[in-house]
Every structure is written in C-alpha cells, then in structure tokens.
Structure 1
Amino acid sequence: MTALLVRRAGLALVQDAGRPGQAAIGVGRSGAADRSSYALANRLVGNAAGAAAVEVTLGGLEVEAVAGTAWVVVTGAPAPLLLDGRPEPAGAVLALRPGARLALGPPLSGLRSYLAVRGGVDVPAVLGSRSRDTLAGLGPEPLAGGVRLAVGHAAAEDIRVDAVPPQEYDARPVLRLVRGPRDGWVRDVGVLTTTAWTVAPDSDRVGLRLTGARLEPAADLPSGGQLPSEGAVRGAIQVPPGGEPVVLGPDHPVTGGYPVVAVVVDADTDRLAQLRPGEQVGFTWD
C-alpha cells in the first residue's frame, strides 16, 4: 500500500472536514482551518469531499513516498516546494515516485498550507472524523518524524487539472461582521470596525487573539455582569474581562461564558486562518 513517510514534521496536523453534530457531548467540529484551500487540494487530486489531508503551519514538513507512487498537491499558503531538491510550484499536482521526497519551506505569505494525496490520508477516525482537535485532544496525534501515513484507495474522480495559480493574500484584509447576541454588553461595539487590530502571538486554532484597543463593558449590565455559558460558533468574537477580543477558530469550545458581541461572516473565516502573529486585520459591518 502506498504511504507517505514523514521525514520532518514541523507543525503538521491531519485534518478533514471535521466532526459536526457532536456538540451535545461537548465535542466541537474542528476540521481544516482554511476550508476552501483544503477543499481545493482534494479536488485537484480527485479526492471525494472530506478526504483527510495534512495541514502544515509555516512549512517544515518533508515526506517521502514509499511502497508506490503518491500523487500530491499543496494549496493554501504558497510554501516553496522542493521535490528531491528540485523547485516545484505550489498548486501543481506532483507525482512522488517511491523514494522521492517533497519538502515544504516557509511560505512568503499566509500561515497554513494543505498537502493532499490522491486517495486521502488513511488514519483511524475518531467520532467519524480524522481531524485533530487541539483543544479536546481528539484525533490523530500531531505528525512527527518517522510516522508512516497510509494512503487510501478511494479517489472519486480522475485528475483533470494539473495546476492552479498559487494563492495570494492581501496585506491587511477587511472582514465582514454581523452583530452578536451580546453586542449591548460593551459600551461601543463600533470599536471593532474603527480599529486596526494586530494578531497576538498566542493565537492558535482555538482562537485568534487581537490587540489594538479595548472594548469597555457597558455601564449597566444585567445579572451584575455575569453571563451563563452559551453555545459558541466559529468566527464568534468574544470579549474577555481584559477587553481585547478573541475570534473563535475551528477548535473552539462548544460553549463560552464571555459575551459574543459580533460574529465574522462564515465565508470570511478562512482568511482568518491565514493570518500570522503580528499581521493586521480590519472589520466592517456586513
């Protein structure tokens, strides 16, 4: 059976489309942080929607094809690729013959790249998904050197496109917001759209922490300012007591007790997944 042997891992996780419908038992959806780039990678190698791929943060992954030829592609953050030392473009479908090695360098822009292999990464599913949930500790362990990733047999279609242009990212995206259910819990929710926010270093798949301003609590809060835990969704903007907002990511908890004052439009949350610490982001009302 064809497999990929991990020679160097960097920060790499197996991800698929996630595990919806498990919130009642305290398990979030998780799944690929940049869903559009992940889905594109699977389409390029002819995989069925939802096939597992590898999410790579800031490059550093090197894999070797063993026991057969692996057809692979890298999308998302345009990582420089070396195939047996020879440069190859991101977005191109590549054949890894047995013994061939593909290395991903740090991308010039963006944060997360997606390595898809024809047939999908075949690791055991947990609660119906092969995704790694970093908050719950569910799913495959983060990749490490020496790990052998089996490649599945099920590909839905032939490979019809051999390359797409590499993704490009604007320097300061402006993402759309809708008002949240607790927008009245801060004095001026408009601060969200008038501030140039900076991504904090402690951001991760659970949440994107932002610095640049503080959202002050409203003068008269119900229940003395104590809010019971409520259901949480990806893209929700919570305001902790310190006043600096947190945008929930794919591994967010299923409930939260901080007020949700706004929510990033779902179609724009993929762009959040490509923001690096230190980069800026703005918001506008949808």
Structure 2
Amino acid sequence: MTDRALAVVRAGALTTVQDLGRPGHAHLGVPRSGALDPYASRLVNRLAGNAVDAAVLETTLDGCAVRPRCAVTVAVGGAPCPVTVDGRPVAWGSAVRVAAGALLEVGRAVRGVRSYVAFGGGVAVEPVLGSRSTDLLSGLGPAPLGDGTVLPLGPPPPGPARFGTTPWPAPPDELVLRVRLGPRHDWFTEAALRTFATRPYRVSPAGNRIGLRTSGPPLERAVAGELPSEGMVLGAVQVPPDGCPVVFLADHPTTGGYPVVAVVRERDLAAAAQAVPGTPVRFVPVGGGRP
C-alpha cells in the first residue's frame, strides 16, 4: 500500500474531489462539473506547487479533517476558515507542511461557503472523461467523501510551494451577476424583465452545486405554454414555475424545459459559489440587454 495517500477522518457536510472539470461532453449529457470557485482552486494549487488543474478537495460550510500518510505540503483557501494541524493553528491562504500521520482540520467557514484544500501532487483518483471531478448530477467521478475514505496522492510536484501570504477576494456581501438576455426572454412580460433587472433577490438555502436558487419577486410569463427540453449552458438563468430565477452552476443538467431568461457571465460565477443563503442578489443586464 502506497504512503502517498490520505485518510478522511471527518468528511463534513459535503466534501468532493474537484479539478477544473470535463468540458466538451454536453452532447453526451455530461456537464462540465469542476470546482465551483475555480479561482480558489487554481490559487491553492499554485500555493502547493501544483499545476493549476490538479485535483483538490472542495468542502461545504463545515470543512473536513484528513490524516495524510506521508509528509505533504497543503494549502487551504476559498472561504476563510480556521485551519489546524494536530490542534495547533496554522496559516489559511498559505502553504503549510503537514507531517505524516498528523491531523489536518479544515474548520467551519467564517465567511463564504466553499473552502478548497490542495495537497502537493494533487488528489490522484482515476480520471473519468479526462477529469477527476465529482459530478453530483450524473454520478461520474469519485463519490462524495465519507469518513474513512482513503484518497491517493500524486508524486510530489516539481514546483516550489509558496509559503507567503496571498491576497484573496472576500466572499460577497452582495452578489452582482452580470447577464445577457437569454434565448427565451420573450417568454416573459416587459414588466417581468424590468423586475428581473431592478428588483433585489436573495440566495435561497435550497441551492447546491447544480444551481443557485433565489427568492424574491416572481417573474410573470408572457407565454403560458411549455417548452420541449433544449440545451442548457453554464450560467443559464432558468425560471421554474414559481417564477424565481435559478442560476445553473457546474453540475447543471445539459438540457432543460423551463425558459432561460438570461445567462450570467462566467467570470461572475465564482462569487456565486461563495454566496451564503440570504445574500442579496442583483441581476445586471450588459451588452445591450434590456431594460
């Protein structure tokens, strides 16, 4: 048994293996998946000396605890949280050396939602369709972590770890999502489009890796019929029967039957990954969008 591995002591609410995803397979019904906050995933990999596309752990709200079987460089970033090694506080947002057999504890997020944990060499589970990412919708990739799970690590990276502090964007106090009107915006009344662009929404606690759900004023339909299923893209803002927009995230379905009123710019979606329930949301049309 190789010592280039780690054992999961506490899996937390939802901890998954993620890299930068498996784009290019929507025609097979496979979404991109990958880290919901790719900026954070890339940065912790750089801190650990890895290539930016190495697989990391993505935690949700309450972190996780792992015990590496070998000495390894670790970096924790994304949502700020306490980090300890054998009970002693260590730096968040910087590379940390963890001895073989020591307990690395990634604590509850004090702001934001998702923390990212990179290990020197990356998490080396078997790739599926070119990615090691867990896809909650299709079931591809490794299962979400459970207590006792053992994950292999790759060879130590050739690049040096970065032990200095690094600036990080703060989780949003207000989530501003820039949008272009979508292919079915004409299924909504002019008043609904004004509401969408001017009224505040809030992040709903019902969201997950598939989509960020919102609560707020419902959008009135101008067309009462139903659509056949059609292709969906990352960032699509779909409006289900309750009228409240849903922003599709990395594990989104590749087809859907509810009308898409707009599409969020991809660069804004990392902030959506860190928006806690109750965060105000504003949709801002750009590029000639109405009203």
Question: Normalising to structure 2: TM-score of the pair?
Answer: 0.92
Q: In structure 2, what is the Cα distance between the partners aligned to 1:49 and 1:139?
A: 19
SS in 2 for 1:7: strand
1:147 CA displacement: 1.2
What's 2:227 paired with? 227
SS in 1 for 2:45: helix
Q: In structure 2, what is the Cα distance between the partners aligned to 1:135 and 1:121?
A: 21
Amino acid at match of 1:253: P
Q: In structure 2, what is the Cα distance between the partners aligned to 1:168 and 1:33?
A: 15
The answer on 1:246 being equivalent to 2:250 is no
**Structure 2 residue ranges without an equivalent (≥5):** 287-291
Q: In structure 2, what is the Cα distance between the partners aligned to 1:84 and 1:91?
A: 18
- Report if aligned partners of 2:43, 2:52 keep a CA contact under 8 Å in 1: no
Q: In structure 2, what is the Cα distance between the partners aligned to 1:42 and 1:210?
A: 31
1:44 CA displacement: 1.1
1:125 CA displacement: 1.3
SS in 2 for 1:278: coil
- Report if aligned partners of 1:75, 1:167 keep a CA contact under 8 Å in 2: no
The answer on 1:14 being equivalent to 2:38 is no
Output aligned runs, 1:188-203, within 5 Å. Answer: 188-203=192-207
Q: In structure 1, what is the Cα distance between the partners aligned to 2:158 and 2:250?
A: 26
What's 2:289 paired with? none
Amino acid at match of 2:245: P
Q: In structure 2, what is the Cα distance between the partners aligned to 1:192 and 1:39?
A: 33
- Report if aligned partners of 2:21, 2:33 keep a CA contact under 8 Å in 1: yes
1:19 CA displacement: 0.9
1:140 CA displacement: 0.4
Alpha-carbon deviations, 1:159-213, whole Å to 9, x = none?
A: 2453314542231132211111111111121212222211112110111111111
CA-based RMSD of the aligned residues comes to: 1.5
The answer on 1:50 being equivalent to 2:60 is no
Output aligned runs, 1:134-145, within 5 Å. Answer: 134-145=136-147
SS in 1 for 2:227: coil
For these two proteins, the number of residue pairs brought into alignment is 281
Question: Which of residues 147, 150, 153 in structure 2 aligns to 1:151?
Answer: 153
- Report if aligned partners of 2:46, 2:162 keep a CA contact under 8 Å in 1: no
Amino acid at match of 1:128: G
1:154 CA displacement: 5.8
The answer on 1:63 being equivalent to 2:66 is yes
- Report if aligned partners of 2:214, 2:244 keep a CA contact under 8 Å in 1: yes
Decide whether aligned partners of structure 1 residues 170 and 246 sit closer, same or farther in structure 2, where only a CA change above 3 A counts.
closer
Question: Which of residues 90, 98, 117 in structure 1 aligns to 2:100?
Answer: 98
Q: In structure 2, what is the Cα distance between the partners aligned to 1:59 and 1:242?
A: 30
SS in 2 for 1:193: helix
Question: Which of residues 88, 91, 106 in structure 2 aligns to 1:89?
Answer: 91
Alpha-carbon deviations, 1:206-244, whole Å to 9, x = none?
A: 1111111100001xx3xx622222111111101112211
Identity score, percent: 48
Q: In structure 1, what is the Cα distance between the partners aligned to 2:162 and 2:108?
A: 28
What's 2:186 paired with? 184
Question: Normalising to structure 1: TM-score of the pair?
Answer: 0.94
Amino acid at match of 1:55: E
